[in-house]
Structure 1
Amino acid sequence: MKTRRSKREIASLIVGFGIIANSMRLRKRLSQIPTLDELPYGDLAKNGVLDDWVVISAEGVEINFGTMVVAIEYCRSNSLDAIDLIPSNIPVARAIEFLREYDPIEYRKNPLAEGRGANQSIVISKDAFVRTGLMKSEALDPFDMVQATKRIKQCCATSFISVIAPTLKVSSNLVRSRREWRGIYRDYDSIPLVMRILEVTILVAMSVSRKLLNKFSFASFLLAP
């Protein structure tokens, strides 16, 4: 009986440490994502620089003038062709999903990485937009927004990143729809199912020891981004 219990406790410890390690990994990724700062934007408007940029946005998303100009200035200052804007009011669950898919350091270095983003709004230079071959830039549905992000990454392999936009807020529901999931895993239809099975398996494994489960759940909650 003791042997069986000790094995369960060891299994719970392993899974628990894995959850804590993953929480720390996601928190580190979050700290590596740049944040747009408020900047004076009068000169950009006067010099006609705004005409050289395009804003791609999802349904229900409106980017204000100040955020757009600051995003353009950030691109110009960091030799970027496009940036994906992460809203300040993105739900925690959605943010964690994004951080699982997006490594801020490796994403820009790896030209073969698949395009990932918050799928809400993208500021892109007009030249790069033409290269993508995209025909629409406003009110894109979830599937088209995901596909646009992937296409931009292909055309701007090392000059496309995600940044946090504190002034960008989205009032629409940010829970991923089935159509958006299909856009992300279009060529890997079985991945969402496999991920779900793994999540359930982990929960079942940890449920064998309630005390350890409570401790690690609390620890992962504190460490989560």
Structure 2
Amino acid sequence: MVRRRGWLPVAACVGIGLNSIRLRGRVGAIDVIESVDHGPPGGAPGSDDPHAQRPPYVLLLASGVRLGPEHRRAADAYARRHGCEVLDLVPAEMSAHRILDLARMVDPSTYRSARLARGRGAFQAVLVDAEVLARTGLTTADSTDLTDLTDLTEAELVAVLETCKRHAAASTDLAVLPGLVGAEPDDGRTRLSVHRAAYAWEPARRVLPALRDAAILLGATSNPLAALAAVTMSWLQPVAVGGSRLWVTPGTLRRSMLTRRRGALLQLVGMPSRTRDLLGAPTIGPDPATCPRAPRPIRTAGRLTPTEIAEKRSQYRRELAGGLDRFLESPRTTCPWCGGNDLSVRMNGRDVSQGKPGRFRYDRCGDCGHVFQNPRLSFEGLDFYYRDFYDGLGAAMIEEVFGFSPGPYLHRASLSIPTPRRWLDVGGGHGHFCNVARTVWPTTSFDALDIGAGIEEAERRRWVDRAYRGLFPDIAADLADQYDVISMFHYLEHTRDPLAELDAAALALA
């Protein structure tokens, strides 16, 4: 009779089998670049190809990866033919763990159309439209002065693909390129750096294989046959997942059990650690030491260096030395919504997001029920408390929060209305709503407005057609009668004067 622990390796066998079927389906959905175009890279001027006039592609290669000129031409032709601005090139032959990692990270059936999906791939070779690469800020050169870049680390290509996918939200894809020679197999440390970069905000995914192995070990003495079967299935899983499309590099399968386990053990070290924000308050986030460093000639866009963080700390200390009074206006004695004077204190709060100092009182109007901050923030206070929340130090975390799921944005955009000609999203943040709403209204022009620098990044990503940075009431006169729809998601309750915001909306509506 099998003891209770003996069912653990049985469950592991079932899980490995079902997961292998799922991952094999993903690999089978990756397109293969078969034909070799003997034309010049980048497209020949005057050809009938509608994508021939696109800027040339820049090739980014991981260290040790090799690509012949004929295969480069085939990749360029495929990217042009399929309208790809970013194309991750997958070697047909890879080490065992790279096959598994690729299948786990990418669902090819939805990858291109998922506008908020993380940029993922094999991290060996990436073709990027020169104009897109210039917009990302990953290089200091413009689109006319970009050349192929080699000897990048695979962890650096993680950052490249994540950034490029955001700037080519619906034109990023991946394809298998036979003839592309991948990087040499590693001892697990390269895989560790890739996982730390790719799963910086998903730490649980880095230890799931180790938990599976622990379950097998716990039940090994009670059910040794099932444990042996589970280990064998795990060992052969890369072959089953790759199928006829991706092959395990000769010799690596034999060592893959040890290589993959070493990487899993290393994952248990360096999990997200407690760091401190600009003012010394503790916060949770990825350990900067595990994040990919900005190499030459690629630099990491949007991530602050230790020097920049130190400068920000000094700036905050100088501002705090002047006291907090200037960040608040004089208290009101009447309700800003109805004008009533029956006010009572509802609660006192503080900055729970960044830990910046200050206490904030909220009053409730007895006549209309409106709750408002009293006294409200001054313009200087808005700048102080919103700084580094949507951009700067907080940009990476906000990116993860806003990009977690397209569901809420699709729900907001799915309105039973005639097709809008122009849509203005006020308080647009980084443009996530506009980016996703295009799948519902593909012919609508989406503009957005916000006070933070993130809205300008949204325009660079082409998530919005035009970005306005500033306060809506100050800009409304320039936008009079231009928009069919104006949205204010999680915005109106944050404004200093809601009535002025609604007057601005009435003015901007056609």
User: Which TM-score bucket, shorter chain as reference?
Assistant: 0.7 to 0.9
> Which residue pairs with 2:214 in the alignment?
201
Match of 2:194 among 177, 180, 202: 180
Corresponding position: 1:142 with 2:154? yes
Task: Letter of the 1:63 partner, please give it.
Answer: L
* CA distance, structure 2, for counterparts of residue 45 and residue 196 of structure 1: 42
* CA distance, structure 2, for counterparts of residue 14 and residue 191 of structure 1: 19
Q: Could you tell me whether the CA contact under 8 Å between 1:119 and 1:142 is conserved in 2? A: yes
- Give the 3-state SS of the residue equivalent to 2:174 in structure 1: strand
* CA distance, structure 2, for counterparts of residue 37 and residue 76 of structure 1: 15
Cα RMSD of the aligned pairs, angstroms, is: 2.7
1:201 and 1:210, CA in 2 relative to 1: closer, same or farther beyond 3 A?
A: same
The structure whose residues are more often helix, as a share, is: 1
- Deviation for aligned residue 1:97: 1.6
Aligned pairs for 1:1-225 (under 5 A) are 2=1, 5=2, 7-42=4-39, 47=44, 52-135=56-139, 137-174=149-186, 175-177=188-190, 178-188=192-202, 191-192=205-206, 194-207=207-220, 208-218=222-232, 221=236, 223-225=240-242
* CA distance, structure 2, for counterparts of residue 190 and residue 120 of structure 1: 25
> Which residue pairs with 2:309 in the alignment?
none
Give TM-score, length-normalised by structure 1. Answer: 0.84
* CA distance, structure 2, for counterparts of residue 147 and residue 6 of structure 1: 47
- Deviation for aligned residue 1:113: 1.2
- Deviation for aligned residue 1:102: 1.2
- Give the 3-state SS of the residue equivalent to 1:138 in structure 2: strand
- Structure 1: gaps spanning 5 or more residues: none
Q: Could you tell me whether the CA contact under 8 Å between 1:33 and 1:163 is conserved in 2? A: yes
- Deviation for aligned residue 1:116: 1.1
Range 129-138 or range 18-27, more displaced? 129-138
Q: Could you tell me whether the CA contact under 8 Å between 1:16 and 1:206 is conserved in 2? A: no
Q: Could you tell me whether the CA contact under 8 Å between 2:112 and 2:170 is conserved in 1? A: yes
Task: Letter of the 1:200 partner, please give it.
Answer: D
Structure of greater Rg? 2
Q: Could you tell me whether the CA contact under 8 Å between 1:33 and 1:164 is conserved in 2? A: yes
1:108 and 1:173, CA in 2 relative to 1: closer, same or farther beyond 3 A?
A: same
1:171 and 1:97, CA in 2 relative to 1: closer, same or farther beyond 3 A?
A: closer
- Deviation for aligned residue 1:114: 1.1
Q: Give the paired residue count.
A: 221
- Give the 3-state SS of the residue equivalent to 1:139 in structure 2: strand
* Deviations, residues 135-157 of structure 1 (Å, cap 9, x unaligned): 17332223322111111111111
Percent of aligned pairs with the same amino acid: 23
- Give the 3-state SS of the residue equivalent to 2:112 in structure 1: helix
The structure whose residues are more often strand, as a share, is: 2
* CA distance, structure 2, for counterparts of residue 29 and residue 121 of structure 1: 19
Q: Could you tell me whether the CA contact under 8 Å between 1:55 and 1:124 is conserved in 2? A: yes
- Give the 3-state SS of the residue equivalent to 2:31 in structure 1: coil
- Give the 3-state SS of the residue equivalent to 1:47 in structure 2: coil
* CA distance, structure 2, for counterparts of residue 45 and residue 98 of structure 1: 27
Bigger relative contact order (CA 8 A; separation at least 6)? 1
Task: Letter of the 2:94 partner, please give it.
Answer: I
- Structure 2: gaps spanning 5 or more residues: 46-51, 141-148, 243-510
Task: Letter of the 1:122 partner, please give it.
Answer: V
Give TM-score, length-normalised by structure 2. Answer: 0.40
* CA distance, structure 1, for counterparts of residue 183 and residue 7 of structure 2: 44
* CA distance, structure 1, for counterparts of residue 13 and residue 202 of structure 2: 29
Q: Could you tell me whether the CA contact under 8 Å between 1:68 and 1:123 is conserved in 2? A: no
